[in-house]
Amino acid sequence: MSKQLDAFRANLEEFAANHRNDIKKNPEFRRHFQEMCATIGVDPLASGKGFWSEMLGVGDFYYEIGVQIIEVCLATQHRNGGLMSLEELLQKVRTTRGRSRQAQDVSLDDVMRAIKKLKCLGNGFVLHRLNDGRFMVQSVPAELNMDHTSVLNTAQGTGHVSIKALQDKLGWQKERSMLVMDRLVQEGLVWVDDQDREGRLYWFPGLFPDT
């Protein structure tokens, strides 16, 4: 098999010579490349020692994004409890990368693939999909069950919920709502706001727009 491997390696080198830059600069091409690899059962990001990584530099690109994602999540965890929207994460990663145009060419697809790779490090990196198609990134291993996700979905327009809102919109009993919200407060995923006239509000910092 080693002969075929050498032949393939030569092919890859030629491709890299011509198109290494295209992969770095063009998010669409990058995504197509990843999709094609997936269809044949190859993971170009499996190892930094793989051909793909060595010759095309895809590894360094995505692993660096991985590092930046972890750092952004760590920096904001005290505020949002480890739950933030994917767009906010993308924005912050772009800011970390600097102001050059090349640094900005990180797409949502790139971030999602980097997160997928980070899962094996065991820190509970999970992507949740909300009803409106948006994604939330969870970076701490809290157990978010279906009830928690329903609350997230209810909060997504305004960023907050109240016990009454849960009863009205989801038809939940008061006890169930209180149990779920208490758990979310414990996990640090919501902030309690007692200043509203109508009663206690629970805010999701992870859902705040443009912070």
Partner 1 sequence: MDRFEWSDGKLKEGETVIKQQGGVKISDGPEKTNFENGLAQLTHSRLIWRSPQNQQSIVCLHLSLVLFVEEMSDGRGKSPKLVLHLQSPRANQPKGPVYSSQHTHIRLGFKEGGANDFNRCLSEVLARKVWEFAPVSRPANQPRKIHAGIVGIERNLEKQRKETDQNISKAFQDLDKLIGKAKEMVELSKKISTKIKDKQGEISEDETVKFKSYLLSLGINDPVTHETHGKGLKYHEELAKQLVAVLQEPIEENGGMMALTDVFCRVNRARGIELLSPDDLLDACKQFSRLRLPLRLRIFSSGVAVLESISKGEDEKVFEAATLLEEF
Residue nearer to partner 1 on the CB measure, 15 or 78: 15
- Kindly state the smallest distance separating residue 54's Cβ from partner 1, in Å: 8
Q: Which residues bind partner 1 (CB under 8 A)?
A: 1-2, 4-5, 8-9, 11-12, 15, 18-19, 22, 26, 29, 32-33, 36-37, 39-53, 59-60, 63-64, 66-67, 70-71, 117-124, 133, 141
| Pairwise CA distance, residues 110 & 34, whole Å | 10
CB of 39 to partner 1, least distance (A): 8
CA–CA gap between residue 158 and residue 185 (Å, rounded): 18
d(CA 196, CA 102): 45
Considering beta carbons, is residue 77 or 149 the nearer one to partner 1?
77
Cβ atoms of residues 52 and 40 within 8 Å: no
The distance of closest approach from Cβ of residue 66 to partner 1 in the complex, given in angstroms and rounded to an integer, is 7
Across the strands, what pairs with 161? 202
As measured in angstroms, the least distance from the Cβ of 189 to partner 1 is 16
* 191 neighbors 181 (Cβ within 8 angstroms): no
Rounded to 5 degrees, what are φ and ψ at 82?
A: 100, 20
Q: Which is nearer to partner 1, 5 or 192 (CB)?
A: 5
Shortest distance (Å) from residue 12 CB to partner 1: 7
Q: Which helix (H) or strand (E) holds 79?
A: helix 58-80
